[in-house]
Amino acid sequence: MSGLKLRNVKKSFGAVDVIKGVDLDIEDKQFVVFVGPSGCGKSTLLRMIAGLEQISSGDLFIGDKRMNDIDPAHRGIAMVFQSYALYPHMTVRENMGFALKFAGRPKDEIARRVDEAARILELGKLLDRKPGQLSGGQRQRVAIGRAIVRHPDVFLFDEPLSNLDAELRVHMRIEIARLHKELNTTIIYVTHDQVEAMTLADKIVVLRDGIIEQAGSPLELYDDPNNLFVAGFIGSPKMNLLTGTVEAGGIRLADFPNDLIPSPIAIPAGTAVTVGIRPEHFDPTGTAALDTSVEIIEHLGGETYAYARGTGSNLLTIATDNNRTLKTGDRYQARFNPASLLVFGRDGKRLR
């Protein structure tokens, strides 16, 4: 059993509160992704789990054991760093076996475990090289290998793909997903890239300013965000967010004063709201419409995105169901089903 429990965990640096009380349950073998903008505290939270930062208050349990005051080496965790943090003066083999050597394991066991990790990550030919002689992707694999060798209960990844180019990042993302299946252990993964979060996670934890905004499965967060922040953060391209006011019979958007759109829920007239609609939820067969003029067209081949506006300055992103004839300057009826709208109050909370 190597689930994790965080109970009202807090962290302050002097007078600055970085983590302001986090409660979280992570199940055994779950792939959990902490995601959020830079400075939201996601890396700090990971480092607190690792034992690299002291927990100011609250409790951390790994399995059933309270780990607040346990050394990083004895928490049953292994960590992969953004900069890989490989020891530059050691070969790949020595890097991977270093922790075991320090734990006083016999040589043949170290060799066996290093070879096993090298096989999983296809590092066999690189074992006698130094990190300086490896490419970024290879270094990252060695860093993962160093973690695997320790047979940890929990893997911690701190933005492991940020230093790789786009193509390699996609490749390594798949590798990590495969690894999770193969190793079958708990993984906690920090990223600011919501695509990584969506593709890898069993459970996404969205953080902002040291608090959890929402935690749930990728599709829960996508379909049913609790607030404006999560709605805007999850999903690519981003959700369109438009301010408006509720009137009798619908919502009047500031950018579309001529269109009264039906509200998906009952809200008292006069309420100021923000309406969210995802680009891919525009649907030519929808019952409601916004009258827009197209500013920019993006042909991606499989899909065509139109960036269009009403009377205001905000650009709407619209997936046009691959409408290839659309041109800049065209009028476009952006149709949608009212049920796909999400409505948020002025405080940012979702109105249901």
The answer to whether the CB of 309 falls within 8 A of the CB of 328 is: no
3-state secondary structure of 50: helix
Q: CA 334, 338, 342 angle in degrees (round to 5)?
A: 100
- Name the minimum Å distance from CB 287 to other proteins: 54
- Applying CB under 8 A, does 17 fall inside the site for other proteins? no
Q: Does residue 51 bind other proteins (CB under 8 A)?
A: yes
For residue 162, state whether it binds other proteins (rule: CB under 8 A).
no
Contacts of 289 (CB under 8 A, 6+ apart): 259, 333, 334, 335, 336
Tell me the closest approach of the beta carbon of residue 32 to other proteins, in angstroms: 19
Of the pair 154, 205, the CB lying nearest other proteins is at: 154
Q: Is 239 a binder of other proteins (CB under 8 A)?
A: no
CB within 8 Å of 296: residues ≥ 6 apart = 306, 307, 315, 328
- Nearest Cα residue to 120 out of 144, 100, 85: 144
Query: Using the rule CB under 8 A, is 83 a contact of other proteins?
Result: yes
Q: Which residue has the tokens 């369109």?
A: 240
Regarding 93 and contact with other proteins (CB under 8 A), the answer is: no
Among 99, 241, 260, 267, binds other proteins (CB under 8 A): 99
- CB of 44 within 8 A of CB of 51? no
Is residue 88 a contact point for other proteins (CB under 8 A)?
yes
Site membership for other proteins, residue 123 (CB under 8 A): no
Residues with Cβ within 8 Å of 24's Cβ and at least 6 positions away in sequence, in order, are 4, 5, 6, 205, 212, 215
Pick from 87, 109, 135, 236: which binds other proteins (CB under 8 A)? 87
The span from the CA of 309 to the CA of 304, in Å, is 16
Out of 32, 33, 45, 79, name the contact with other proteins by CB under 8 A.
79
73: contact with other proteins by CB under 8 A: yes
Q: Does 133 sit near other proteins (CB under 8 A)?
A: no
The contact set with other proteins (CB under 8 A) reads 47, 50-52, 71-74, 77-79, 81-83, 85-89, 98-99, 102-103, 132, 146
